[in-house]
Structure 1
Amino acid sequence: MTENPAGTDPIADTRRWLQRAVIGLNLCPFAKAVAVRDQVRFALSDAATPEALLQALAAELALLRDTDPDAVDTTLLIHPRVLGDFLDYNDFLDAADALVASMGLDGVLQVASFHPRYRFAGSGEDDIENFSNRSPHPMLHLLREDSVARAVAAYPDPDVIVERNQRTLRRLGRAGWRALLTWETGPERG
């Protein structure tokens, strides 16, 4: 069972999660700026196999590479039909990184990971700290290295983000997380 009570529209679920959790809790202090400027691409893949997802990822990497950053700065590739098991998903990340390299995009684009059952190495499955990377559906977050570097350089102390997120999530707790992401109620915050 997932802690994210996802609805039937993966893009709407992901938008809500981005607004309420990522931006609303300030889990990523860099997310609000690109969201406000409407520079986040929400791409839904119908891939049902890892191979098909790898093809979709290649297409999205090429699109991001070839698109002006002012139009699309980052992409969330949502893939609800494949890699629902976190260990399979985690193994797939090696193939995603290899694809980035094979496309000559090392140092240009990177892939970050979010999953409904995300689990940091060395953590317990139910540790609240894992929720900083738990999304309503499995997804791959495609980022521009230049944008990441600029955002980190502008942030006073990026090393404190993880610690702050852990404190925020501990304070919120599982019940608070569930309430925050109740899909049926309330306007999106941001």
Structure 2
Amino acid sequence: MQTGGRPGHDASVETERLTLRPLGPSDVDDLEALHADPEVMRFLDPEPVEHFLGDSFLAAHEKSGGRFVGWFEFKPLGDGVVELGYRLHPEFWGRGYATEGGKALIERGFTTGGVQRVVATTMFVNAGSRRVMEKCGLRHVRTFHVDWDEPLPGSEYGEVEYALTKDEWQQT
């Protein structure tokens, strides 16, 4: 893996099959197409595309062919804690890309970015995302409930938080 910079600050990451780089205005069409897919948004509330432009969100492209796979989030929350997130086109689900990108960001954060803890959340019913978090080394910390104005199907089961500390990561 090749990396540069610190998490969330103009850093690109290369994995075996992916190139991750900060999302920018040239990615708006790809973002809009990704967020227009009902399968992708099944467990998510829509947000304006502008929310994703900036240092905390990274566009993911296949190295072979350059196709837009989706995006990864590695957003500093303060005190050495970052939030890991990802959103991929369904055609790329089940190929290990989410795990590959997530692990690369975690490694970079813990080795060069001053990160002490990585957290991630999803709906309890989002089994695919929970599997990715577990494959990235994160462990279930808690299940909690949020009162949503317009709850999504499955929200009655709550949200889950997963986390991994630098100490835990170093022991693996």
TM-score under structure 2 normalisation? 0.33
- The structure richer in helix per residue is 1
TM-score under structure 1 normalisation? 0.30
- The structure richer in strand per residue is 2
